[in-house]
Chain A
Amino acid sequence: AQSVTQLDSQVPVFEEAPVELRCNYSSSVSVYLFWYVQYPNQGLQLLLKYLSGSTLVKGINGFEAEFNKSQTSFHLRKPSVHISDTAEYFCAVSTGANNLFFGTGTRLTVIP
């Protein structure tokens, strides 16, 4: 079985500061990893994904994430956040077979 742990439920950060949202997973098989973002009153939008290859993955809106197999982590980073980045961020894992298993989400609040 797969599971995803997002270690921080809320992350406040000042505008233009860097941010890291943490995600750890557990799985007995190889996985694909995803970050989705949910803006207020909207659906889920794919930020980035790791399927294979380079462990550093770049996504939309200046976000990137690094897959670390030994630490079973897939942390999301952005060097300088904007007010518009305020949203809920979900880490998800898939074995490629069927569906996504989501973490509980991290609410990122960017403070002006």
Chain B
Amino acid sequence: DSGVTQTPKHLITATGQRVTLRCSPRSGDLSVYWYQQSLDQGLQFLIHYYNGEERAKGNILERFSAQQFPDLHSELNLSSLELGDSALYFCASSVSSGNTIYFGEGSWLTVV
């Protein structure tokens, strides 16, 4: 158990809908990262937050957004969902940038 908690573990939704994925980082970790894992794209970095502030953006679509709250949990919002958004979404955390990143179990999103 990495200490990073993600909910829900599985989610099935229809195209055009919006979903929110939630992540609780390890106790004491200030950095939260989101990754997407799909068969055709592999593991892609989406976005990084540190202590509530956005620090870096990767291959995140404009339909997607994230935030980190004062209690350090984070949410990834995915809107206007398309079939191609079906993937495993990982949250990860670290104490700060430059430290080891620990991953949650992921949230499986299926868009039908």
Taking Cβ atoms with an 8 Å cutoff, the residues of A that contact B are: 32, 34, 36, 42-46, 49, 90, 94, 96-105
Interface segment among B65-73, B77-85, B97-105: the answer is B97-105
Please state if A99 and B42 are interface contacts (CB–CB under 8 Å). Answer: no
Please state if B97 and A96 are interface contacts (CB–CB under 8 Å). Answer: yes
Please state if A43 and B33 are interface contacts (CB–CB under 8 Å). Answer: no
Given A98-B97, A104-B42, 19 other A-B residues pairs in contact with their CB atoms under 8 A: A32-B98, A34-B100, A43-B2, A43-B104, A43-B106, A44-B90, A45-B2, A46-B101, A46-B102, A49-B100, A96-B97, A97-B56, A99-B58, A100-B33, A100-B45, A100-B101, A101-B45, A102-B42, A105-B43
* B91 and chain A: residue at smallest CB distance: A43
Query: What range describes how many residues of B lie at the interface?
Result: 20 to 34
In the complex, what distance in Å separates the CA atom of A98 from the CA atom of B101?
A: 10
Judged by a CB distance under 8 angstroms, whether B18 is at the interface is no
Closest 7 A/B residue pairs (Cβ): A96-B98, A44-B103, A102-B43, A43-B105, A98-B56, A99-B45, A43-B103
In the complex, what distance in Å separates the CA atom of A43 from the CA atom of B109?
A: 14
Q: Which residues of B contact A44 (CB under 8 A)?
A: 90, 92, 103
* A44 and chain B: residue at smallest CB distance: B103
